[in-house]
Amino acid sequence: MIFDTHVHYDDQAFDEDREVLLGRLKEEGIDTVVNIGASIRTSKSTLKLAEQYPFIYAAIGVHPNETAELNEQYLDWLRDAAKHPRVVAIGEIGLDYYWKEPDREIQKFWFARQLDLAKEVHLPVVIHSRDAAQDTLDIMKEHAPHEAGGVIHCFSYGKELAKEYLDMGFYIGIGGVVTFKNAKKLKEVVESMPMDRMVLETDCPYLSPEPLRGKRNSSLHLSYVVKAVSEIKGISQEVVMEITSANACRLYHFAPGQGFRAPEQSPLTERNCPIDGTEIGKSPEDHRDY
């Protein structure tokens, strides 16, 4: 059982064999995936996928490098679409200074607005941050934490910054990069962070793990990430899958019964955690040792 917290199965890289691939996920142990929107267009295609497949849920939002398209009307559309029963998060939103466009001020403005939107609709956030550590943290501190929390996806900073986000209550998304030989910084983050705040993600079709680096990624390749994490943490692969799946249920506010309270008025309080097992009801403190 694996919960892939960040996928882009609406990407054209999957046009050729999407149906066949998605049909295989269950039998390969992938229980649940959250498809992530990165623009208005892909938020719409994400919703479509989530309506089509019972194990696919949706996050909707506009990626920092796409924020030039945003305006009040589109923000209203996002607010409305967030009420859709398959939507579990607002994202991916954030800051990306690796690319020059759009202007940093535009990115910052719409990042803050979408954080506020998430707060308004009681949904967690999926954060994308690259080469923008300080600005991301400043805006998050001003506009977060809100009660629904969220995840820092494809975490690319050091362990000190990881601690800041952990202290704010956020989850850290770990994917293919942890298998790269030169990923010393991320391996340190994994080593030092508590297991109860880690979720697995592919970001597919991007970021395939070693030894498939450069090829199209999919949730089927998460086993390499599970193996890398189990080696760093010195725990079994089964335990990695079990804990990260339970974490993902908490992150996206699937109601697991005991030990977890969804935020007040959350539209998600009635949703059931799709992962079986008694671990899920345990409080995070039970896993502090890893």
Residues of this chain that bind Ni ion (CB under 5 A): 203
Q: How many residues does the chain have?
A: 290
Whole-number minimum distance, CB 35 to Ni ion, in Å? Answer: 10
CA of 132: how far to CAs of 74, 107, 139, 188, in Å? 25, 11, 11, 20
> Max Cα separation, the chain?
50
Q: Is residue 271 a contact partner of residue 89, using CB atoms and an 8 Å limit? A: no
Q: Which is nearer to Ni ion, 66 or 203 (CB)?
A: 203
Whole-number minimum distance, CB 8 to Ni ion, in Å? Answer: 6
Give me 277's structure tokens. Answer: 């097992």
Whole-number minimum distance, CB 82 to Ni ion, in Å? Answer: 18
Q: Which is nearer to Ni ion, 154 or 229 (CB)?
A: 154
Q: Is residue 255 a contact partner of residue 269, using CB atoms and an 8 Å limit? A: yes
152 φ/ψ angles, rounded to the nearest 5 degrees: -95, 105
Q: Which is nearer to Ni ion, 10 or 203 (CB)?
A: 203
Q: Which is nearer to Ni ion, 40 or 262 (CB)?
A: 40
Strand positions, DSSP E, 37-118: 56-60, 87-96
Whole-number minimum distance, CB 201 to Ni ion, in Å? Answer: 8
Whole-number minimum distance, CB 22 to Ni ion, in Å? Answer: 17
Q: Return the axis-axis angle of helices 159-167 and 184-192, rounded to nearest 10°.
A: 40
Whole-number minimum distance, CB 4 to Ni ion, in Å? Answer: 12
Q: Which is nearer to Ni ion, 130 or 143 (CB)?
A: 130
Q: Which residue is nearest to Ni ion (CB)?
A: 203
127: left (phi over 0), alpha (psi -120 to 50) or beta: beta
How many Å apart are CA 57 and CA 30, to the nearest integer?
13
> What DSSP designation does 216 have?
P
Whole-number minimum distance, CB 174 to Ni ion, in Å? Answer: 14
Closest CA relative to residue 96, chosen from 62, 71, 64, 68: 64
Q: Which is nearer to Ni ion, 171 or 260 (CB)?
A: 171
Q: Which is nearer to Ni ion, 194 or 205 (CB)?
A: 205
